[in-house]
Amino acid sequence: MKFGLLVCDILKPIMRRIYLAPLFLSLAVAALLSQQSRVKELAPGVWFWQGDRTIQEPANCGWVIFKDYVLVIDANYPWGAKKIIPEIRKTTNKPIRFVFNTHYHGDHAYGGSQFTAEGASIVCSEDCAIESRGKGQANWDRNKAEGEFSLKPYFLAHPTVTFPQKMVFDDGEHRVEMIKVGPGHSKGDAVAWLPKERILFTGDLCVNWKFGNNMADPDADHLNWVKALETMAGWAPRLVAVGHGTLGEVPTLRGQAAYIQDMWKQVSDGRKRGRSADELAKSIDLSRHQPFGGDAERNAASIKAMYLKAGARK
Ligand SMILES: [Zn+2]
């Protein structure tokens, strides 16, 4: 009896572990798959990393593996960069030499110091570099978040390689053209265009999710933004790696342009009729533009930001 009890006591935890093993295994596999599904090879040597807003890594990123080095597109937040670097390492052991930031906003650029620690230099348009040192640093200094998403353990690494309108990386195998198309979403927006693969990385000039665009940058130029989207649609990209949300195509660029243009028209017409920003934010319906206009609250914030611009233009 005693012996039987003893055997039972010994076996119970073992049996419990055996019962729980499949659960632990499936959780581990799910975690692995969720990381893997964030990484996609769009063409040989051209990689896309899917952002995830639920864990405060909303911005998409990418990297291109040249013969001698890796060029990263958008640095993400520091905690995002810490996940991206090991993913890059799974695809190549070449040095990460450059990080191209499409614009200076924190979710795309604040992780730069993680890459400079790897020996990389940060590249962006001249206007983007000015914005990084001005608005970017000021926003960083104002950020008082604590805990997991605190910026305190990090510093903001500013761009050190800049270009006025265009810079080209081309080693005969890959060609990446960095082209300034802003002001649009910010003053210094530039995109990465891979003409051989016909892949375009847009930053926040184009998104493909229901949470809208942040239209509130003080240097945003909504009309030029629409023009930039139309120009890029004219390049006929096969794939559009947007700033947020899932991969898009040419209709994504055109849909994004239609959403901004419609908003601009309704805001500027309403303003001319003497309507207030609050009235327009309540009355303008952009829900027909999917997925761009899917979030009424964010549309309202964008309408109010655009209202100030419409006033400045008259
Ligand atoms: Zn942005």
112 Cα: distance to centroid of ligand 1 (angstroms): 15
292 Cα: distance to centroid of ligand 1 (angstroms): 15
Q: Which CATH superfamily is domain 40-251 in?
A: Ribonuclease Z/Hydroxyacylglutathione hydrolase-like (3.60.15.10)
Output the pLDDT for position 28: 55
Output the pLDDT for position 1: 44
Average pLDDT, the chain: 91
Alpha carbon distances (Å) from 146 to 77, 108, 152, 183, 300: 14, 20, 8, 33, 28
128 Cα: distance to centroid of ligand 1 (angstroms): 12
Output the pLDDT for position 212: 85
Local structure of residue 133 (DSSP, 8 states): I
230 Cα: distance to centroid of ligand 1 (angstroms): 19
Whether residue 307 is predicted with pLDDT greater than 70 in this model: the reply is yes
8 Cα: distance to centroid of ligand 1 (angstroms): 61
* Separation between Cα atoms, residue 286 and residue 289, nearest integer Å: 6
260 Cα: distance to centroid of ligand 1 (angstroms): 15
108 Cα: distance to centroid of ligand 1 (angstroms): 7
107 Cα: distance to centroid of ligand 1 (angstroms): 7
Whether residue 224 is predicted with pLDDT greater than 70 in this model: the reply is yes
12 Cα: distance to centroid of ligand 1 (angstroms): 55
The full length of the chain comes to 314
Task: Tell me the pLDDT tens digit for each residue of 123-179.
Answer: 999 999 999 999 999 999 999 999 999 999 999 999 999 999 999 999 999 999 999
15 Cα: distance to centroid of ligand 1 (angstroms): 52
102 Cα: distance to centroid of ligand 1 (angstroms): 9
* Separation between Cα atoms, residue 151 and residue 157, nearest integer Å: 12
Residues of the chain above pLDDT 90, percent = 85
183 Cα: distance to centroid of ligand 1 (angstroms): 12
185 Cα: distance to centroid of ligand 1 (angstroms): 7
Task: Tell me the pLDDT tens digit for each residue of 170-209.
Answer: 999 999 999 999 999 999 999 999 999 999 999 999 999 9
Locate the domains of the chain by residue range.
40-251
Task: Tell me the pLDDT tens digit for each residue of 255-280.
Answer: 999 999 999 999 999 999 999 999 99
- The stretch 75-91 carries a mean pLDDT of 98
Output the pLDDT for position 310: 86
10 Cα: distance to centroid of ligand 1 (angstroms): 58
Output the pLDDT for position 214: 85
Radius of gyration of the chain (CA): 23
- The stretch 236-248 carries a mean pLDDT of 98
pLDDT band at 311 (very low <50, low <70, confident <90, very high): confident
Whether residue 93 is predicted with pLDDT greater than 80 in this model: the reply is yes
161 Cα: distance to centroid of ligand 1 (angstroms): 20
Output the pLDDT for position 9: 57
* Separation between Cα atoms, residue 67 and residue 218, nearest integer Å: 40
190 Cα: distance to centroid of ligand 1 (angstroms): 12
pLDDT band at 297 (very low <50, low <70, confident <90, very high): very high
Whether residue 309 is predicted with pLDDT greater than 90 in this model: the reply is no
Task: Tell me the pLDDT tens digit for each residue of 7-66.
Answer: 455 555 555 555 555 555 555 555 555 555 899 999 999 999 999 999 999 999 999 999
3-state helix/strand/coil string of 145-196: CCHHHCCCCCCCCCCCEEECCEEEEECCCCEEEEEECCCCCCCCCEEEEECC
List residues, by chain if needed, whose CB lies under 5 Å from ion ligand 1.
105, 204
What is the DSSP code string of 238-274?
SEEEESSBS-B-HHHHHHHHHHHHHHHHHHHHHHHTT
